[in-house]
Amino acid sequence: MDFPVIRRAARSVETAMMAVLPHGGQGAARRNAWSAMAADAMQSRARREADLAMDRAVTRSAARRAHPSATGS
């Protein structure tokens, strides 16, 4: 599907933003990129921590099943 009216409107908005915003919105783009990178880093850290927690839980569970008397159960 081709929507030339929407494409022209989007291009007009983009042109207006470039004219109105200082440096064509480059500062906003950099802030957005930095925010996205920070969010990705937080998600990555949380994912690593969750993976480690799951690995520890699986290891403990396997150890309990292998040696039930060693855990005091």
Residues 6+ apart with CB under 8 A from 25: 17, 18
Residue 70 has pLDDT above 90, yes or no: no
pLDDT in tens, 5-52: 888 888 888 888 777 777 767 888 888 999 999 999 999 999 999 999
- Only one residue has tokens 């969750």, namely 50
The residue with greater pLDDT, 49 or 3, is 49
| Distances in whole angstroms, Cα of residue 44 to Cα of each of 1, 17, 34, 67 | 37, 33, 15, 34
Instruction: Specify the pLDDT at position 2.
Output: 65
Domain ranges of the chain: 4-67
CA distance 42 to 35: 11
| Distances in whole angstroms, Cα of residue 28 to Cα of each of 15, 20, 44 | 16, 13, 24
Instruction: Specify the pLDDT at position 9.
Output: 87
